[in-house]
Amino acid sequence: MHELAHLHFADAETSYADARYVLFGVPYDGTTSFRPGARFGPRAIREASFNFESYDPSTGLDLYEIPFTDLGDLGVLKVPEDLVGQVADVTGEIVGDGKVPVMLGGEHTATIGAVSAMKPDVYVVCDAHLDLRDELDGTPYSHGCVTRRILDLGVDDVVIIGARSGDREQFEIAEERTRLYTADAVRERGIGAVLAEILKEIRRQTIYLSIDADAIDCCLTPGLGTPEPFGLTPLDVREVVRTLGPHAAGFDYMEVAPFDAGQTAMVAAQVVREFIARHRIAAR
């Protein structure tokens, strides 16, 4: 296992050997294209996690009763391709040990590594951006290329929820090769109807679920590297995790850049807790 420095998520007290869920942070924002700061996301999410009671009233579980651990932060390499390889190695070890990886970010580029290790049937992402560029700023491993690289990995079923930004070519690719639910579509149809449709299609396939913090309207959670208005609400994202989380084999919450008053990290920490609790209760 890679050498990781410790700063743990609240209630993550189980040993690695006994844990069912394994958190790790990726403090990286090496390809940022607008505003840096996501490298501080994992620490901010962990600090926010200590704000909450251990008890989760929606499931009736206490977080400290759930076997999960926090490995700390990856000592990230600067070159994005190398970073992707690091994340793939750690994720592969966690999954190989029969555990569920939960990644805290950090730039969305890291998700390419996690998905490449897990090889899911379905990739579901909440994101303001399509991330379907072939390259950005000279690298195909930019945060703006994540979904394109995941398609290249052979994940044929890609579902994008909440997108509202991308050039014409990306929207054309999205319409042809993904199932796209824009933020406007979610608002018009309601998140419940969208999720019911997705669930019907997914059935028993393996899912990787990724949340980019900027899926949420930047007026609500402004701690973002690439903020976009007119997005999802925190309640929409919580509903995505409550509905699809129990079916996911891996999960991440990425792109928290904590230069706001703490709203973005607080939502992230609570959604991570929701994922762990909902996944656990469904497995019983």
- pLDDT classification of 273: cutoffs 50, 70, 90: very high
SS3 125: strand
Segment 279-284 mean pLDDT? 90
Distances 132 to 40, 82, 142, 150, 157 between C-alpha atoms, Å = 25, 20, 10, 9, 14
Tell me the whole-structure pTM to 2 decimals.
0.96
Q: Is 43 exposed, middle or buried (0-12, 13-18, 19+ CB in 10 A)?
A: middle
* Residue given tokens 């190398």 in the structure block: 82
Looking at residue 283, its pLDDT comes to 82
Residues in CB range of 73: below 8 A, 6 or more apart: 4, 5, 7, 24, 25, 26, 27, 42, 43
Least confident of 107-121, 133-147, 174-188, 211-225: 133-147
Domain boundaries, the chain: 4-283
| pLDDT score at 239 | 98
Provide CB contacts within 8 A for 255, sequence distance 6+. 38, 41, 105, 106, 107, 108, 143, 212, 213, 214, 224, 225, 226
Euclidean distance between CA atoms 192 and 262, whole angstroms: 28
Q: DSSP characters for 47-83?
A: HHHTTS-SEETTTTEEGGGS-EEEEEEE---SSHHHH
Structure tokens of 111? 């998700």
Contact in structure between 96 and 14 (CB atoms under 8 Å): no
Tell me the C-alpha distance between 54 and 11, whole Å.
Answer: 7
Token pair 């700390």 is found at 72
Residue indicated by tokens 């040993």: 15
Average pLDDT over residues 133-152: 94
Domain 4-283: homologous superfamily in CATH = Ureohydrolase domain (3.40.800.10)
More confident residue, 151 or 3: 151
Q: Tell me what the mean pLDDT of segment 16-28 comes to.
A: 98
Tokens of residue 277, six digits = 């609790």
Structure letter (DSSP) for residue 8? P
Question: What letter does residue 160 receive in the DSSP assignment?
Answer: E
What confidence tier does 2 reach under pLDDT thresholds 50, 70, 90?
low
**Mean pLDDT, the chain, whole residue set:** 95
| DSSP string covering 199-230 | HHHHTT--EEEEEEGGGB-TTT----SS--SS
